[in-house]
Amino acid sequence: MREKQTFSVSKTFLLGFGFFGVSVIWSLYNAYLPIFLKSTFGLRSSVIGAVMTIDNIFAIALLPFLGALSDRTRTRLGRRRPYILVGSTLALMFFVLVPYFNTLQILGLMMLAIILMNLSMALFRSPVVALMPDITPSKYRSQANGIINFMGGLGALLVYFGGKPLYDQDISLPFLVGGLVMFTASMLVVVFIREKLPGSAEPGAGKVSFRASIQEVVANLKDVFRGEKSLLLILLGILFWFIGFNSIETFFTSYAKYHLGIEESTGAQILGFFSVTFMITSIASGFLGSRIGRKRTIRFGLAILVAILLGSLFVRRFLPLALVNVNSLPMVVDMTTLAKVGGYTGLYYFFSQAANIAAPPLAGLLIDAFGYAFLMIFAAAMFLLAFFIMSFVKRGEVQN
Q: Which has the closest alpha carbon to 151: 20, 287, 323, 275?
A: 20
**Cβ pair 82, 131 in contact under 8 A:** no
Backbone angles phi, psi at 193, to 5 degrees: -90, 125
User: 260-266 long-range contacts, Cβ below 8 Å, gap at least 24?
Assistant: 264/31, 264/32, 264/35, 265/163, 265/164, 265/167, 265/168, 266/164
The per-residue pLDDT for 346 is 77
* pLDDT given for residue 20 in this prediction: 92
Across 329-340, average pLDDT: 78
At residue 293, the 3 state secondary structure works out as: coil
Correct CATH for 9-193+227-390 of 1.20.120.720, 3.40.640.10, 1.20.1250.20, 1.10.490.10: 1.20.1250.20
Q: Is the pLDDT of residue 269 over 70?
A: no
- Count Cβ neighbours within 10 Å for each residue of 127-147 and write b for 16 or more, e otherwise: bbbbbbbbbbbbbbbbbbbbb
User: What confidence tier does 316 reach under pLDDT thresholds 50, 70, 90?
Assistant: very low
Please state the domain extents for the chain: 9-193+227-390
Q: Whole-model pTM?
A: 0.70
Other Cβ atoms closer than 10 A to 207: 8
CB of 99 closer than 8 Å to CB of 179 = no
Helix pair angle (81-95, 9-39), 10° resolution: 30
Is residue 320 scored above 60 in pLDDT?
Answer: no
211 Cβ contact partners less than 8 Å away, ≥ 6 residues apart: none
pLDDT computed for residue 242 by the predictor: 87
39 CB contacts (<8 Å, ≥6 apart)?
none
Neighbours of 162 (CB within 10 A): 17
In this structure, the chain runs to a length of 400
Contact in structure between 122 and 91 (CB atoms under 8 Å): no
Percent of the chain with pLDDT strictly greater than 70:
82
Q: Which of 95-109, 136-150, 204-218, 309-323 is predicted with the least confidence, judged by mean pLDDT?
A: 309-323
At 101-114, the pLDDT tens digits run 999 999 899 999 99
- 118 touches 55 (CB < 8 A): yes
What is the pLDDT, as a whole number, of residue 185? Answer: 94
